[in-house]
Amino acid sequence: MTDFTYDTILSTMTREGVRTIALNRPQALNAMNRRLIDEVAAAFDDANRDPGTRAIVFTGEGRAFCAGDDRHEHVHPETEEQARDLVDAIQRATQAIVFGAKPVVGAINGWAVGGGFEWAINCDFPIWGESAKGFFPEVSLNLFVTGAVTSLLPAIVGPVKAREMLFLGERYAARDLAELGVAWKVVPDAELRAEAEATAERLAALPPLSVRAMKRVLNQVSASALETAIELETEATVAGFLDPETTRLLKAF
């Protein structure tokens, strides 16, 4: 068994070849600061390189999966260079999750907000606890989504519903997300981690060559759309960070 050490991530490995990557800032509802963003990308890169890892469970410690941006710790970017560096880091995490070789099972607990909701959508098999909820507040804050969700979400729910979710920032319960196809399964909260681990073990038991090929081919079919979405999202988010109105709205939020 191989383990990696991080400050904001718990990364553990089972003998069945399942690596669990858990966001570990429970006191902040696993909200995203720069350290967490960088370590999510590093943890997935490590897992995808590790020959012993055959499937990944992605979850959050405590009462939430990820409550979005940590408003208390993030230093608001003051220059285009700072803004682009931050947004590129966020997009690197998505690329590590989506384009990595190993299948990812999400165990989505509590709140999945903004970037946290994006990470939940990035999972190959997103399993949600029945009390979990998700929403996108970005447009109301004069910001923009990342995580390639401008491509992924319309493909899942259709363009009209995606507009509702992205423009209006409605809050969705896990059962609603299952009906929309955003959640693969919804299970009782107490069973969430066990269900995710059992699913990951099923994936880990499959021939690794065909599993990796399936994920690669499925992603390559839409790779150009995803890469284009990431590029356009980055430009829109950088512009949002640099608008003074964003600072006012973030403080109010």
Catalytic center residues: 118, 138
Rounded Cα gap, residues 46 and 116, in angstroms: 20
Residue 106: how many other CB atoms lie within 10 Å:
29
Give the three-state DSSP class for 73.
coil
CA-based radius of gyration for the chain: 17
What's the half-sphere exposure (Cβ side, CA atoms, 13 Å) at 110? 17
Q: How far apart are CA 66 and CA 228, in angstroms?
A: 25
Q: Quick one: tokens of 109?
A: 């607990």
Other C-beta atoms closer than 10 Å to the C-beta of 165 total 22
Cα–Cα distances in angstroms (integers) from residue 249 to residues 63, 85, 105, 143, in the given order: 26, 22, 34, 10
Helix (H, G, I), strand (E, B) or coil at 187: strand
Return d(Cα 99, Cα 226) in angstroms, integer. 10
CB atoms within 10 A of CB 21: 25
Number of H helices, E strands in the chain: 10, 10
